[in-house]
Structure 1
Amino acid sequence: MSNLHKILIPFLCFFVITTVKGQDRSSHEIGFISGAASFTTDYGTRYNFSSNVGGNIGMGIGLIYYLNFSDYRYIWDQRTNYFAEHFRIRAELSYMSANLDHFGKWIDIIDKNTGVLSLGAQQLRAMHGKTTIVNFGTQLEFHIVDIVDFGSRRIPDLQWSPYVSAGFMVDYYNPDLKIDEPYDLFPKWAVDGATNMKSNFTGSLTFGIGTRHKLGEYSDILIESRWQYFFSNFVDGLNARDDSANKFNDWLLWVHVGYVYYLN
């Protein structure tokens, strides 16, 4: 648990500081998000469309909370400062899961002697993984459009609020692996330390781009694409350290839509 403490302490300090800072003049929002996540892991071939975009796709859902540094619903005519009017904090608790398989050229290698799929190709095809992830963390959003102008609804033609975000997550992951009989595990993962199907905690960095759109007087919809890079390479349970092709930790791209409701 010591590694978890190292992850949690900076996050908690950041959250407390920003919360205290926003107590004097703040507003709050809640909502939910849902969408598809494309997992890029040790399954599949790097830069292969099916591996990174079309194949290893999972679904995710989440609850979100926003802390704004201005009370734009009721004191919109009292301007504050640039930071309060363009930045907001978002806290998130989300869950995602995906089935993982191998795609790309290596599963189609033909044995020259037999004219059928090579043993390695069959072993890769026989591997079936799955991972589930629970994320908890915070992000800082920068909105190009003034948050007060957009949220107060005082400008009817102001319908969209694009933004970029960056943040940090604490992640609980639980991988799984099944192999079709009668095959053995592919050699590079059949060595000590190359597989680990135990659940564990790690951290991740997130970078996103999205936009809000006015839905009602007290609600918005959002559309967002977010890249999430994990500090661990065992999120999928595989980590062939001695393989020169194993260069990056696991990561994912999550495209989702959401609903936000203004509490005040």
Structure 2
Amino acid sequence: MNKFIKITTTILLLIASLNLNAQSEKSHEIGIISGSASFTTDYGARNNFKANVGGNVGMGIGIVYYLNFTDYRYRWNQRTGYFAEHFRVRAELSYMSAKLDHFGKYAESRETQWAERLRAHHGKTYLVNLGAQMEFHWVDIVDFGSRRIPDLHWSPYISAGAFVDFYDPSISSELGDWRDPEVLYPKWDNNIYPDGSPDAARDTPGVTMSATFGIGTRYKFGEYSDLLIESRWQYFFSNYVDGLNAKADPANNIRDPNNKFNDWLLWVHIGYVYYLN
């Protein structure tokens, strides 16, 4: 928890510093976003569509704050520079959750007890994200935000940023207590070695960080408001967001060959943004 507080404080101070150091002709916006998040984790087979896109899907909601480096509403005729007119900073606090299940040929097989263990194995994870992103807009922010060009309705952008993430996974099995031997698939069974490994499965909350990359667009909705639609990829620096992290060689911290990557998600959401000034 202390680590979480320190990292969160650092991000907030960074956002405040950007605000204080920006030129006086700046503007601010607030908004709300909501949509579906597709989790790609250790649940399900790699390259299986339902496991990676269509199956382990949850919902997310968040509040956002935008800092613009130009006062585009009231000083549109006083041009600044390329950075101020094409970049903005977005701070975000969001919440996500999803139920997780195993999909793919290994879980669908009816020939082995291992498939039965996979089908009976379920999980959930909860996420709270706090961080900031930098957005680059192809369309001039001043031209779009000032509403001085009637036919300018869309403002596409790309974004990149970093987040602090608090995660809280849970694990269950229809076959009994997941901590008991012969309940989970062997590579997640903490009681079996070398097939399983210490901490291959755990339901303890934790704090990590993540990197984000997104693409989206704004749509001019009203004189002082926009709608947005965005798709964002978020890669976590931990593999325990779902509670699972199989290792082939626990002593040397070497992962199972089928467990190459950390957990990540794809969040597709819509939002509403209101101009404060």
The TM-score by the shorter chain falls in which range? Answer: over 0.9
In the alignment, what sits opposite 2:213?
Answer: 207
Given the alignment of the two structures, is residue 250 of structure 1 paired with residue 272 of structure 2, yes or no?
no
Deviations, residues 201-252 of structure 1 (Å, cap 9, x unaligned): 1110000000000000000000000000001100000000222111100000
Contact kept in structure 2, 1:36 and 1:57, CA below 8 Å: yes
**Aligned partners of 1:77, 1:214: CA distance in 2, in Å?**
20
How many residues are matched? 258
2:144 corresponds to which of 143, 147, 150: 150
After TM superposition, which residue ranges in structure 1, 4 or more long, deviate above 4 angstroms?
none
Contact kept in structure 1, 2:100 and 2:122, CA below 8 Å: yes
Given the alignment of the two structures, is residue 195 of structure 1 paired with residue 201 of structure 2, yes or no?
yes
Post-superposition offset of 1:47: 1.1
Contact kept in structure 1, 2:8 and 2:130, CA below 8 Å: no
Given the alignment of the two structures, is residue 22 of structure 1 paired with residue 22 of structure 2, yes or no?
yes
Contact kept in structure 1, 2:117 and 2:175, CA below 8 Å: no
Contact kept in structure 1, 2:41 and 2:263, CA below 8 Å: yes
Q: Is there any run of 5+ residues in structure 2 with no aligned partner, and where?
A: 177-181, 191-197, 249-255
Using the size of structure 1 for normalisation, the TM-score is 0.94
**Aligned partners of 2:120, 2:234: CA distance in 1, in Å?**
28
Question: Following superposition of structure 1 onto structure 2, how do residues 1-264 of structure 1 map, counting pairs within 5 Å?
Answer: 1=1, 3-4=3-4, 7-8=7-8, 11-22=11-22, 24-111=24-111, 118-181=112-175, 184-191=183-190, 192-242=198-248, 243-264=256-277
In the alignment, what sits opposite 1:114?
Answer: none
Post-superposition offset of 1:18: 1.2
**Aligned partners of 2:213, 2:10: CA distance in 1, in Å?**
18
Counterpart amino acid of residue 185 in structure 1: L
Q: Is there any run of 5+ residues in structure 1 with no aligned partner, and where?
A: 112-117
Moved more, 204-213 or 11-20: 11-20
Moved more, 154-163 or 238-247: 238-247
Deviations, residues 140-189 of structure 1 (Å, cap 9, x unaligned): 00000000000000000110000000001111111001100256111100
Using the size of structure 2 for normalisation, the TM-score is 0.90
**Aligned partners of 1:7, 1:143: CA distance in 2, in Å?**
28
**Aligned partners of 1:258, 1:232: CA distance in 2, in Å?**
28
**Aligned partners of 1:125, 1:257: CA distance in 2, in Å?**
33
Percentage of matched positions with identical amino acids: 64
Counterpart amino acid of residue 40 in structure 1: T
